Structure 1
């Protein structure tokens, strides 16, 4: 399968296979074609490629998720169509998981179509960085991805891709690139890959699994994901999760909005003993050097570790992750208590979240 989403520039030997997905990595330093070029030790560029699937309107269709080894590299998603029956110029893309509501992407900002560099028989449909980041969490739990590509001249291609194995492939890419357990790890970006999530202590919850009371609250908020005027509710609602806090209480972390590299969550504690007032909205403190301490009712890029009973959030100042704020809160049985907060306002290409300046540290 040919690939051309901006990071794959050299052939790679096929690596491990996870169900229908194969991971391949290439050492960029060793593949530098420039004579006498000085090799630089960098993590490899990697991709997870699906098996070719039979396609209506083409010979075959496949998908690839790629990520460069550079620290600031973001995951990319592309579909390769072999010998489409009709041109796919300015193609529109519709994606649905397990028969759900399709997510539709228009050409231009979100989708580009180009011939494959190494194979003229292949047309590549590439998603933008932001679209890929929004879609990858949508794919992680499904079984079948239905892909429909509609060309401008009435040409179309349709296929179904098997999704099992994709999450394990993401974990293998993180291992190969040395990102395991780091905030920028691929499994952290798409969610659902922590041991806690796999053990059932933290569970992904789709839109329909969220309590009706919280769904109403989210619709009443200014949350784009829950805009009641949208005919096609955003798939991002399916990035929400719930965690068991013990003593019958549940932490609900519900997606409110998303940008290119930040996903914003509203958080609630459910206490069944409080009957009608069983859901409590959580408020948090945040800090910026230019403003000081303020209060917020959402957190960004949230994760919960049930073994440590710790809630973490990392709001990126930009995609590279060299600036922003990182907070850690610990569940004490009745509320979350801040135990550490780091902030770095200047985006200067230096530093990483775990080494941002500490502006608060409490007793543990």
Structure 2
């Protein structure tokens, strides 16, 4: 073994931990509530979504909330239907019309509504519901109702999609809790008298040109990190996460993403302007190794954790998942799970075999 190999192995060993952090751990995957799923971006923007398909037509409804204290919820409706320009989209809850929007008018106002950084729309034609009273009324009705009826103006007859609302309240409560809004005047489900505060967050990095020179130098010198289209970079949820002692952790995409994996690098910058790349531990059959890439990185600002998920297929039923916890100077690997069989069976991450910490044999 060479001296360099010894150093890498020793570094990887230092980045391992068998001790569980004191804070509650985020799940390997976000929970679901009936038909609703929830998630958050690296910046702290969170959303709840429900997808309903009726024969060839589908509708996706998303309620999105940014991390800022005064950020109002946004509602986005997306469909694969071809809509008539002179038609109207009608939204009703439990048989009572909440609002109706001419398609032409909706298309006209879309450019005036700014999506939170890190939001990635799904395919199809998407519409932001007008912000303000229209969105407030719709969210309020969805929180108390059972069925949202979406009537879409299509070429022949209107297409009607029934969206179940069971799980809406739980999904938005999860967002309140994740953004630490519960008990404040800004909470959607569990409001209180406490003043609204910014949710735990990281600052979106939309362009490498905005990086400090020392961070840009480290990023540009690594592999082929800078070989990425600026528009793609802006869509990949790169962030600058504030840490203690006025230091900052940067999670930046490194090179162009593949079909289902995006590589990231972690760069640590101190208040005096210095920067260095961070390495993380990974487990192999022969022991730990130090890696400079984190795939599909997810940042959790409250727990100061990064999760990585290297997908072995587009379905994501196989691959390697890791949890790294920030210690103040490095990341330590506290959990790793893997599934080697790419067989098309949808197996949730919670059911994958834990490969670190190692499970003692019963023999």
What interval of TM-score do these two structures reach, taking the shorter chain for normalisation?
A: 0.3 to 0.5
Instruction: Name which one, 1 or 2, has greater alpha-carbon Rg.
Output: 2
Structure 1 length normalisation: TM-score?
0.47
Q: Name the structure with the higher strand share.
A: 1
Higher relative contact order (CA 8 A, sep 6+): 2
Structure 2 length normalisation: TM-score?
0.47
